Amino acid sequence: MAFHESRGVKCGTDRALVWRSGQKQVGTNPGVPSRHTDILYSGNARQPDSSRQKTGISSQGQMWLGPDGDALLAARSGQLPQMAPRSPFNPNAKSFVPASERASGSVVANEADAQDRMPTYYNWLPFFRRGTVSGDAQSVRSCSSDLVHVAPWPWPEEQLRYLARKFVERAKQVGREELPPLAPFAKSVYDEFVQEGGSKMPSAEKFQWMLEVHIWKDFCEVWRANSAVNANTTVIGTRWNHKDDHNANLDLVAFVGDLFMHDLLSCKFIIMCLRTLVDNLRSDDEVQALQTMLTHVDDRLLQQDDPARYFFAEQLRPALADATLIQNLSDDGRERVLETSAIVNKWVSEYAPPALAVESPARQLPTAV
């Protein structure tokens, strides 16, 4: 208990004893408002600073004045401002649906509820999800049209970037190989952007460019030997022990080849990806990725692009004939090398310059043991 002689106020935990002019009044606990008036007076001693003569509300909710006020310092608790009661319920909450009913409910209904809770810019996500799992051409066109036109026009750049990122993420989704190809839907979305604003529309060009940016980033992280993902990988052979990781990375390669076939990626970009695989060719995984890429593209790579012809003849073909690589591969890997080399030799003989078309004996593929 503290006693302030100069103020004439004695404060206790349970009771507040207040004196003024020799008259003692007993008040209730200052921290607990009551129906009775808690009257606190301030003494006249030791108030040299005029700045103390202010009006305020203490931490216990009591009103006080300076010494010149000589007035009522604490009012009835009912006179203090009261906060409006807050509802414990969320006014935007949906009605409760049991998990069993949610699991058996239609996907469209669930996505419609999700769309209501989305920001306006993200309300195209339900159409994106449906388009990525649909194999019907009419359904793909419908989803792409709804996706492009449901968002405010023109599309902001950050939304185009997010859309491109979603395509790359969905391409690496577990079990993607069991779903319809994703590239036709990406091409349909691009065509919708073009039809909305013309062939030179910024949204279509930005979407195509951002696809390249995100694909290249993930491709390098997966297939470059010095990337953060592969920094600690030194064993020759299968790089990924988990089958899902292996399939997801191959699905990304297949997605790249399919986008080239739908004119969303250039020949130059495909050669960049192939060169990345060749420069890091050290295991069955890279050989399988090469085979996957070449089986998802066609000979248009070499028809009109001279750098591609030289790359196939001068870099890709010798890399597949490297004896050290052959010795470190499994039987399946050696078989894939033979199949991939057959494709490469066929294209080189048809499209490469005559000086490069004929392979020297030193470059011939060694016989797998």
Task: Tell me the per-residue pLDDT of 54-83, one tens digit each, with 9 for 90 and over.
Answer: 444 444 444 444 444 444 444 444 444 455
Pick the more confident residue, 25 or 193: 193
Instruction: Return the percentage of the chain with pLDDT > 90, whole number.
Output: 37
- pLDDT attached to residue 14: 43
Q: What is the pLDDT of residues 208-239, one digit of tens each?
A: 999 999 999 999 999 986 555 554 444 444 55
Pick the more confident residue, 207 or 1: 207
For 132-154, letters b (16+ CB in 10 Å) and e give bebeeeeebbbbbbbbbeebeee
For 35-49, letters b (16+ CB in 10 Å) and e give eeebebbbeeeeeee
Q: Which domains, ranges and CATH numbers included, belong to the chain?
A: 1-45+54-80 (no CATH), 112-297 (1.25.40)
Backbone angles phi, psi at 26, to 5 degrees: -105, 125
273-275-280-282 Cα dihedral, nearest 10 degrees: 100
Whether residue 42 has pLDDT greater than 70: no
Whether residue 161 has pLDDT greater than 70: yes
In this structure, are residues 212 and 168 in contact, taking their beta carbons and an 8 Å threshold?
no
Instruction: Give me the long-range contacts of 93-101 (CB less than 8 A, separation at least 24).
Output: none
In this structure, are residues 251 and 177 in contact, taking their beta carbons and an 8 Å threshold?
yes
Whether residue 169 has pLDDT greater than 90: yes
By three-state DSSP, how is residue 319 classified?
helix
Whether residue 112 has pLDDT greater than 50: no
The residues, any chain, with a CB within 8 Å of residue 33's CB and separated by 6 or more, are 61, 77, 80
- pLDDT attached to residue 100: 61
The residues, any chain, with a CB within 8 Å of residue 15's CB and separated by 6 or more, are 26, 27, 28, 29
Burial (CB < 10 A; 0-12, 13-18, 19+), residue 61, is middle
C-alpha torsion sign, points 5, 7, 12, 16: positive
Confidence grade of residue 298 (pLDDT, cut at 50, 70, 90): confident
Whether residue 177 has pLDDT greater than 70: yes
- pLDDT attached to residue 104: 55
- pLDDT attached to residue 17: 42
Burial (CB < 10 A; 0-12, 13-18, 19+), residue 183, is buried
Two tokens at 81? 């401002």
**Rounded CA separation 308/300 (Å):** 10
- pLDDT attached to residue 154: 81
